[in-house]
Each structure stands twice: as C-alpha cells, then as structure tokens.
Amino acid sequence: MPISPENSPPQSEPSRWLSSRAASTRPFYVMELLARAADREKVHGASISMVVGEPDFPAPEPVLRAAQRALVESKVHYTHALGMPELRQAIARDYWSRDQLEITPDRIAVTAGASGGLLLVMAALLNPGDEVLMPDPSYPCNREFVAAMGGVVKTIPVNGESGFQPTVAQVCGAWTPRTKALLVASPANPTGTMLNPGEAAALAQCVRDRGGVLIVDEIYQRLVFEGQPKSLLSLGDDIISINSFSKTFSMTGWRLGWIVAPKAMMVALERLAQNLFISPSALAQQAACAAFTEESLAIAQGYRKRFREQAGYLLPQLQRLGFRLPAPPHGAFYGYFDVSDLTDNSYQFCLDLCDEVGVLMTPGRDFGDYQSERYLRVSYTKPIAVLEEGVERLKAFLNRG
C-alpha cells in the first residue's frame, strides 16, 4: 500500500550513515572565501580572484573543432578502459618529439583528469596502512587520494630553503618499513617550484634503494617559464608520472589526464579502470587527439608566455607590498607568499581581504599544516589589467587606518 506520513519508516540520523573517511576529509577552506565573495558582490560588485588554479583561456581551436566533429559524427561511446589507442599513441609521440623519450603507448593510461589518475595509482599500489610520503605544503587532494585507498599520509615539512621540495635527507629520514611511495610535483602546487635534475635523480635513487615507488605530478610541466625541462620519466622506467590536459591546454572542465607507468602495472590499472570508471570521457578524448597538433601546441605556448608575463607583473608588485616570496616559482601560475610581516593568521587575512576590498587569495591551511598560518597562495591566471586592479585594492587595504 502507499506509504503515508503515518506509516512511513522513521528517518535515520544522516550523520550516522557517514563513513569515518567522509567525516575526516578536510574541506577546501577557500570555498568559504568564495561563498563570502559571492555575498559581497551583491552589494559591492565583482571581486578580483587570485585563488583559482584554472587558466583564463579557452581550449585551443583545433580541440574545439575536434569535439564538434565528434558530436556531429556521434563518436561518444565507451572507449577502451585505458583510453583510445589513437590518443595514447599521440601522447607517446609527444614524449618523443618534446623530450626524446621513447614511451610506448602500452605504458600510457588515459584517465578522468589527473585526479582520476592518482586515484588509480593509489588503488593499484596501496594496501591498508601503507604510507605515502609527500611534502607539506602540497596539493590538498593528494592526501585524500591516499586515504581513500586505505593508505596513510606522512608529510615532510618543507620551506623556501629547499624550494619547498623534499630533500634526499628528509625522505631517507622519514622512510619506514611501511612506506610504499613518495609523491612529489614538479612544478608544484601551491609553490610553482621544481626539482632540479640532480635533486630529482637523487630522490629517485633514494626511493629505488628502499624498494619504493616515485610518483611525480607533472601537470604543469609545459608551463615552465624558462627552458624546456624533460619529464622525470627520463630517470627510469620505474617512475610513475601523472599528467593532464587541464592546465597546458586550458581543458579543466573536460576532465582528462593520463598516467605513464611501468608495464608491469598496466594490467592492474586496466582492471581497476574498468571497474571504477569504465572509460574516460569519449568526447574529451576525441577532442584531446587534436591537442598535440602544431596549431594547438603553438596556442599552448602562447598561453605559457602570457602566464610568464602575468607572473612578471604580479609577483614583484606583491613583494613591494610586504609579501615575501621565499622561493620564486619556476612555472605553473602560483606564488606561495610568506605574509607573516603583515599578519599572524593568513586565513583571517584572506577573509579580511575578501570582505573589505574584494580580493581573493588562498590561505596556506588549504595546503597543509606546517607554518600554514604564515603563507598564502596567489594565482595569476587573470589578465594584467585585472591583476592591476587587484594590486590597487591591496594597497588600499594595507594602507587603511
């Protein structure tokens, strides 16, 4: 019979349904800022955002045209769990043309963004209780990818003296019998700093000597300001690299990335991908096949140049206002600033900036716990004219009575 209010089952307490994992997952603190900014804008007008790690450009035209063709031709069905063969081949060719690295397509897995790639890697590597080392500060979701697979995050506190990258001595000192992997990023979020070749090689050997795995997030590798550093896959076939179309090609919402892993892992990655995701987005893959064309790569190079120009404007301006930059970024679109000369609470500082002048920056607590009250991240993805307005508002904030 129909369920009426009189005979409906008692409502459960929603919090009783939730897992301990859900309860312990940390929020993005910047989301409070964005909510406050939205309320503020109703009265005071637009904010100046220096928070979002998203390019302020469209995807390259060849990518858009390829997506349109795929829709017209209805090429949007399931693909192989590890991605379309033609896309895996295109990625492999790009490693050869850019870095002279012979990466075969059977070592490449196309994924639902770099996030999907990291989840697959952690699922393939970790047993409950296995440790993964990573620097503090680092991208916050990395902690959750490990925890979601039953792993234990062990952070290494880093600072500007090492470019916010872990040293060999730190990794060796932190390694225990339970440690399975070291996860680093180069360039890194939130700092934009890189491992130099010597440091990277030493870290790879340190991990190798202990029977562990080095996982490298390289999603910003094409956004390095000077030179064209090789992928850290050049350090050996045992390295796992995570990459993405999001940052280089301004394809954040397309949710497409890839893994390069040792051949011995690929069967496991395929099984996991089949069960967890079935396959990456067919439309995004069809579009991404055009990302490595000469035209798309030239557009992406133009984007990189713009980011470098925007960094060249904003970073010195902030330093003149008392924001200290312990380690200048080598790439990406972030600066990680020490604001301890201006405040003893970077989170409250960010809230006040939002409320009083509508400038949005990301507090250090989003990226870890080590000295997080001293730091904030500034993103310079917006045009210089927008950044100039942000600087003027900052001056007014800092000069207020």
pLDDT along the chain (401 residues), means of 10: 49 72 83 90 95 94 98 95 98 97 98 97 98 97 95 98 97 98 98 96 97 98 93 97 98 97 98 96 98 97 97 98 98 97 97 96 96 98 97 95 60
Which pLDDT belongs to residue 7?
A: 54
Confirm whether pTM is higher than 0.85: yes
Q: 61-292: which CATH architecture?
A: 3-Layer(aba) Sandwich (3.40)
What are residue 48's DSSP bridge partners? 359
C-alpha 378/C-alpha 363 separation (Å) is 9
Which pLDDT belongs to residue 96?
A: 97
Tell me, yes or no, if the two domains 14-58+296-398 and 61-292 fold the same way.
Answer: no
Which pLDDT belongs to residue 2?
A: 47
Torsion sign, CA atoms 64, 68, 69, 71: positive
- Contact yes or no for 168/198 (Cβ under 8 A): no
Residue 204: half-sphere exposure toward Cβ, Cα within 13 Å: 19
Provide φ and ψ at 156, rounded to 5°: -115, 115
Which pLDDT belongs to residue 6?
A: 52
Amino acid identity of residue 374, one-letter, is: R
C-alpha 332/C-alpha 230 separation (Å) is 15
**Strand 375-379 relative to strand 131-136, pairing:** unpaired
Put the strands of the sheet holding 152-157 in their side by side order: 108-111, 257-260, 240-244, 213-217, 179-185, 131-136, 152-157
Which pLDDT belongs to residue 142?
A: 96
C-alpha 224/C-alpha 220 separation (Å) is 7
Domain extent listing, the chain: 14-58+296-398, 61-292
Q: Which CATH superfamily is domain 14-58+296-398 in?
A: Aspartate Aminotransferase, domain 1 (3.90.1150.10)
Residue 202: half-sphere exposure toward Cβ, Cα within 13 Å: 13
- Contact yes or no for 258/90 (Cβ under 8 A): no
> For the chain, give me the number of helices (H) and strands (E)?
14, 12
SS (H, E, C) 177-189: CCEEEEEEECCCC
Q: DSSP strand E in 45-178: where?
A: 48-49, 108-111, 131-136, 152-157
Crossing angle of helices 294-320 and 61-72, in 10° steps, is: 130
Which pLDDT belongs to residue 1?
A: 44
- Contact yes or no for 90/62 (Cβ under 8 A): no
